[in-house]
Amino acid sequence: MSTHVCKCPEGGHPTFGACMRSKNLRIAYAASSRGMDASREKRHQQELDAYADARRQGVQPDGTRLDQVRRAMDTSDATGVAYGTPG
């Protein structure tokens, strides 16, 4: 096993991991094959969560995009009837 030789200006980090933590580096999820980065994936998951929440409340949005879910929820609130359901 090789030892880490720290060449940082702060110097003296005993391991490579300690050296990288001192730089505050972060490794983020990236699904580049699907054209998504961590921020886009997070927004996508929030939209799906909002859609699932609307469905649990009996509302049927026109799609999973956040604007569609919000429109369905706002319409349901205004009319007192779950949007997208018969009757």
9-51 pLDDT, tens digit each: 777 788 888 887 888 776 666 666 666 677 888 888 999 999 9
Domain of 51 in residue numbering reads as 37-79
Q: By the 8 A CB rule, do 72 and 84 touch?
A: yes
| Residue 59 covered by a domain | yes
Could you tell me if residue 86 is inside a domain?
no
Please check whether residues 51 and 24 belong to one and the same domain.
no
* Total tally of structural domains belonging to the chain: 2
Instruction: Tell which residue, 52, 54, 50, 56, has the closest CA to residue 77.
Output: 54
Helix (H, G, I), strand (E, B) or coil at 63: coil
Domain check: are 24 and 12 in the same one? yes
pTM of the model: 0.60
84 in a domain, yes or no?
no
Please count the CA atoms within 13 angstroms of the CA of 68 that sit on its side-chain side. 12
